Amino acid sequence: MNDSTRLLVIYLQDHDAAAQAGQALARRCARSNAGTDLGSYLSDRFLPQIESEQAALAGALTAVSAAPSQLKRTALRVGEAAGRLKANGRIRSYSPLSRVIELEALIAGVHAKQRLWTSIETLTGSDGHRSLPDVSAHRQRAESQLEELQRHHTHAAATAFSPSSEQQ
């Protein structure tokens, strides 16, 4: 394996592990916000889209003769779980601050995912990477996911930080 392919494998494995942790975060956020517009969006649209995207990422790993790194997946899942321990202004319950922070993490993840798809698009068809999958639809979908998550974040921040808003 040449150096550029080795670096691409590491890059894809890193994104694969981050996607697994992001999916766990999105599931938890969907459960915590069940019965709301945010919970419905995450459960009905966002999580199914992530599953489709993970299949494309698995295809990219296969195209470069690599597999997901279980060590990286485990490390990031542990990190995601540890993130739940941060102070959110409440001892035992979900807080409006939790919603804001979770949405910011999901937005950051989708930004990174958008860059991943752009990187793969740049390589698709180039020498040595002809077998990479077409991911242009995933890149475009990431753009719409960002818009939707940012809309929910704006609402969550207004709810959490407005003195006149009832804390949910």
Residue 167 banded pLDDT, cuts 50, 70, 90:
very low
Residues with Cβ within 8 Å of 8's Cβ and at least 6 positions away in sequence, in order, are 64, 123, 129
Per-residue pLDDT, 168 = 47
Inside any domain, residue 168? no
Query: How many Å separate Cα 36 from the centre of its chain?
Result: 20
CA-wise closest residue to 6 among 49, 50, 69, 51: 69
Is 166 part of any domain? no
Decide if 41 is inside a domain.
yes
Distant-in-sequence contacts of 5-10, Cβ < 8 A, 24+ apart = 5/64, 5/128, 8/64, 8/123, 8/129, 9/61, 9/64, 9/66
Q: In this structure, what CATH number is given to the domain that contains residue 102?
A: 1.20.1260.10
- Alpha-carbon distance of 7 to 25, in angstroms, equals 27
At 26, the amino acid letter reads A
Residue 167 lies in a domain: no
Digit-coded pLDDT (tens) for 83-123: 666 666 665 667 889 999 999 999 999 999 999 999 998 88
pLDDT at 80: 75
| Residue 137 maps to a domain | yes
Q: What is the mean pLDDT of residues 129-134?
A: 76
Q: Rounded to an integer, what distance in angstroms lies between the CA atom of residue 43 and that of residue 136?
A: 23
Q: What is the pLDDT of residue 45?
A: 97
136 is a domain residue? yes
Q: Is residue 70 part of a domain?
A: yes
Q: Could you list the residue range(s) of the whole structural domain that residue 19 is in?
A: 3-161
Number of domains in the chain: 1
Average pLDDT over residues 10-24: 94
Q: Quick one: which of 113, 115, 132 has its CA closest to 60? A: 132
